[in-house]
Amino acid sequence: MSFSKLNISGAKADIFSWVSHALSTDEHNMLRNVSRLPCLYKHVALMPDAHLGIGSMVGSVIATKDAVIPATVGVDIGCFSGNTLVPTLDGNSYSLRELAENDKEIVVYACTESGKVVAAKATAKKTRANAKLVKVFLDNGAEICCTPDHKFMLRDGSFLKAEKLKAGESLMPLYRETDKDGYVLVQQNYSGRMQRAHWIVARSSLLGEVPRFKNDKTVIHHKNFDEADNRPENLEFMSASAHSAYHRSLIERNEHWQSPQFERNRIDALYAKAQTADGHSYFAERGTKNILKYMEENPEHFKMSVAKNGERGKKFLVDYNQSEKGRAKSKEIANRFYDCETCGEQVKSGIGLHNHRLYSHGYNHKVVSVELIEERENVYCLTVSEHHNFALEAGVFVHNCGMMAVKTPFTSWILEGKMKDLRHQIERTIPVGFNEHKEAVDESLAWDGWKSFDKLHKGVQHRKAKAMKQLGTLGGGNHFLEVCLDTEDNVWLMLHSGSRNIGNEIASRHIETAKKLHKLSELPDPNLAYFIQGTVEFKNYWRDLEWAQSFAFKNREIMMKRLLRQFNRMFNDGNDFTPEVAVNCHHNYVTLEHHYGEDVYITRKGAINAEVGNHGIIPGSMGAKSFIIKGLGAPESFNSCSHGAGRKMSRTAAKKAFSREDLERQTAGVECRKDAGVIDEIPSAYKDIDEVMRNQRDLVEVVAELKQVVCVKG
């Protein structure tokens, strides 16, 4: 179905609708009121899941010029210019635009809060059109163009928006180099030591369990013989002896093998390896075994061989240290200069270089300045499901776009007989409904957002303790945590939640402020009161809105981590897995975008972004299907689509119309609550999700069709 133009008496702007059923008188009145707003831009877009809301319909997309309407904005929602380079584990760097256009999964560098660099799977996508940009200048000469709200990882593992970075701010660095054998080395920021990239891939669980070989060392073989290509599919575990035997069998690939020159090269390579920490440890262990074996098999000869060793060695060592040559060597080592890779300064001695890095740079790049630039561009980002950050070629780590749905590497058989236990484990881990954590969890206490809480609307400060305990909780209504299966029997994890009570508190106070700024006679509906860009009220509202959106994002992040922890404990021996697909999806939010040649505020109330190639989630009810989609970028919908099935009756009406028996029948096969407390969420209270999807075929392309088997609701 394509959209139709609704004919509503008294409407002053066009209303484009993807709804196939007839609308009620109340819905007509609500649309008419929105169409009369003086700040409305172009038209109203009505998604196929639309139904009555407060002020405007849920499922409506409203564009406004130089104004925002608090009552039509919920709370949920940065990115980089298309030519921003990202280093990948294949040894190359690609622009975000190229990665998004290729639409393929890649492996990138990410970083934990403790400074451990890991490898992680990622996907790229375009996130905004014609976005406002800032340029971040670093002390290594790199320049990064991004949206003002994109977060950079600081040296302590926390994140800060680009627009709030200050000169001298220490960022988490990515230091790489290539050794003489062609292997990529990466500095581990928590220790300062270099580690080979292929072992970072292995230790990130991208190659499966690391095998052990009896009386032999485990090595990693590069299948294409390119030591810089560390894609998981190019790496293979082998024993050291099997690896050597394999290379010896390839004489025809290189005629110099086993020649005198090759033998000299081999000995030189062994010597060089012995000078490294790993090599010294390897040869020390190997040598110890050989010596012990020799001592056991030839005890008398060993005693004769080592007789008076200390006396002879001591004399030679003392003589060398006291000689002119020995003193000169010690002096040369102590006065040797090294180049600092960050600032280029020459520093005396290895210890001096270590101290210089630590105290001058903290082992990281620093911000020189942040400048607003006039250019606007389409911007892009990566989704890195497990670690939520990735490295740029500029040598710093930045936040990714988040997560709400994760495709696991498992199929349905692992759930057999365990779904009820899984639901109960989730409910014990994540408070739902009106419940909250007894005390703020560690993830909440560590959140950087609390630093700016006191700057929020003066009426919410007394809610801080409650908000801290609610961070990492589900809430009620249509919020959910689910385990789903797709049509190929793959297991998915999904969640839907927002900014809990604190978001509602913030919104309510700003709505009241907006109403006081207008004469009620000026507005078709008091709930359509708006703030005008440039005013103090607009600035304060936007500040609080961004905070609430960050709270909602962190809330989902904490819950997904806890959901994954329980899932892995039950089905993966407590080990982490790398998600095969991860999708983040915001709804009920406002953002500044570029449409029809102008910058306008787009409010998606019960709708999600469906720009070309943008992935999203459209969930059904607790007994129906859900869909992972990719946007088609319809301009008439302001690049939007529905965020779900949409209600067809109110909660009160549903409770009167249906019984527990109805709920049990309609949720058959789903492990979920089936008591009177969730009758208002019964599938029959929602529209047919299949019809909703048919009505927006011109807005989205279906990537995966899901059916839940476990559903947790408040």
Burial of 472 by CB count in 10 Å (0-12 exposed, 13-18 middle, 19+ buried)?
A: buried
Q: How far is the C-alpha of 221 from the C-alpha of 218, rounded, in Å?
A: 10
Query: Which residues lie closer than 8 Å to 235 by C-beta, 6 or more apart?
Result: 198, 201, 202, 207, 220, 221, 222, 223
β-pairing, 106-111 vs 405-411, is unpaired
Q: How far is the C-alpha of 123 from the C-alpha of 570, rounded, in Å?
A: 27
Q: Which residue has the tokens 């073989």?
A: 221
Quick check: 602 and 593 in contact, CB under 8 A? yes
Q: Which residue has the tokens 């670093």?
A: 138
3-state secondary structure 565-582: HHHHHHHCCCCCCCCCEE
Report the C-alpha dihedral over residues 507, 513, 519, 521, rounded to 10 degrees. Answer: 20
Quick check: 700 and 47 in contact, CB under 8 A? no
Quick check: 496 and 489 in contact, CB under 8 A? no
Structure tokens at 704: 């995966």
Is residue 150 annotated as part of the catalytic site, yes or no? no
β-pairing, 218-222 vs 235-239, is antiparallel
Quick check: 466 and 428 in contact, CB under 8 A? no
β-pairing, 184-187 vs 235-239, is unpaired
β-pairing, 14-17 vs 40-51, is parallel
Structure tokens at 193: 């030591």
List strands edge to edge, sheet with 581-583: 581-583, 405-411, 490-496, 480-486, 700-713, 625-631, 615-618
Query: Which residues lie closer than 8 Å to 221 by C-beta, 6 or more apart?
Result: 235, 236, 237, 238, 243, 246
Task: With H, G, I as helix, E, B as strand and everything else as coil, classify residue 305.
Answer: helix
Q: How far is CA 373 from the centre of its chain?
A: 27
Structure tokens at 189: 């920021």
Q: How many CB atoms lie within 10 A of CB 461?
A: 11
Task: With H, G, I as helix, E, B as strand and everything else as coil, classify residue 336.
Answer: coil
Q: How far is the C-alpha of 336 from the C-alpha of 358, rounded, in Å?
A: 19
Q: How many CB atoms lie within 10 A of CB 566?
A: 17
Q: Is 366 left (phi over 0), alpha (psi -120 to 50) or beta?
A: beta
User: Which residues share a beta bridge with 347?
Assistant: 338
Backbone phi and psi for residue 380, each to the nearest 5 degrees, phi listed first:
-135, 160
The catalytically annotated residue of 51, 388, 479, 643 is: 643
Q: How far is the C-alpha of 174 from the C-alpha of 446, rounded, in Å?
A: 23
Catalytic residue annotation: 643
